[in-house]
Amino acid sequence: MTDLGAAGEYLLLACGAPDGARSGTMILGSASEPLGNVGARGTLLVGPASHFGGNLDYGSFAQLAPPVQIDGLYRKLSSSQWGTIRSDLLAASQWAAGLSGVQRGDITASLVIDSEADRFTVV
C-alpha cells in the first residue's frame, strides 16, 4: 500500500510547484459532485449547482458560482500546508513509480479487475 500522507486526504488534487502558472489550477463545471475532499494549490473555479461531499481547499484564489453546497470545510490553506501536501504526493508518486505491474490492455465496458483486497468493475 502506498502512503500518500497529507495528499491522501483528497479525492481530487491539483498541487504543483509554487511557481505561478503551474501551481495547481482546478476548474470544475456546473453540477460537479465529488464525494470527497477537493484541493487546488493555486486557483480553484467551481460552476453553479455543485455539491462537495468533503472539504474544499484552495491556495491563492477561489471563485464559486452559487449555489454551491460544501458538506465539509471551505478553507484557504497556507503555503506551508500546500508544501507538505505536495511533498507527500511527490514521495508517494516516486515510490509507486518503482512498482511493477501487469499490463491489462484496453479498458472496455466489460473489464473486471480482481485484486486481493478489492474488486474493480468498469461499466
Secondary structure string (H, E, C) spanning the chain: CCCCHHHHHEEEEECCCCCCCCCCCEEECCCCCCCCEEEECCEEEECCCEEECCCEEECCEEEECCCEEECCCEEECCHHHHHHHHHHHHHHHHHHHCCCCCCCCCCCCCCEEECCCCEEECC
Higher pLDDT, residue 111 or 96: 96
Q: Give the pLDDT confidence of 13-71 residue by residue, as tens digits.
A: 998 887 766 688 999 999 999 999 999 999 999 999 999 999 999 999 999 999 999 99
